[in-house]
Amino acid sequence: SIASADMDLNQLEAFLTAQTKKQGGITSDQAAVIAKFWKNHRTEIHESLISQSRWDNVLKNMNWRVDLKSQLRHIDQINTPVAIVEMELGKNGQ
């Protein structure tokens, strides 16, 4: 929960306090250890979660346009916008 929410120190303190008051929760000593660990390793944990959730492919280029239909068989379809999106994917790090 702490890592997925990327909690700041105030959020962390409130979360750990709630966990210590919970039936079957953690002790205040355990909360202190978790808080110290999070303070020292927050950046590395966050970067690790991001790299694990990233796809192998990355977006290299994107082109888009919006077309309006100006001539159709039925009048209610005229000026209907149509979005055309072209995405170029590549391998991460290449």
Does this model's pTM top 0.75? no
**Do 39 and 71 meet the contact criterion of CB atoms below 8 Å apart?**
no
- In this predicted structure, the answer to whether residue 93 has a pLDDT above a threshold of 70 is no
pLDDT at 14: 95
pLDDT digits (tens, 9 = 90+) for 48-89: 888 777 777 788 889 999 987 777 677 766 777 889 999 988
Domain ranges of the chain: 2-53, 58-90
Taking Cα atoms as reference points, which of 69, 61, 66, 51 lies closest to residue 90? 61
Cα–Cα distance measured from residue 36 to residue 49, given in angstroms and rounded to the nearest whole number: 19
CB 93 within 8 A of CB 67: no
Structure tokens at 78: 């005229």
Dump pLDDT digits (tens) for 12-44: 999 999 999 999 899 999 999 999 999 999 999
Close Cβ partners of 14 (under 8 Å, ≥ 6 residues apart):
none
State residue 60's pLDDT score: 85
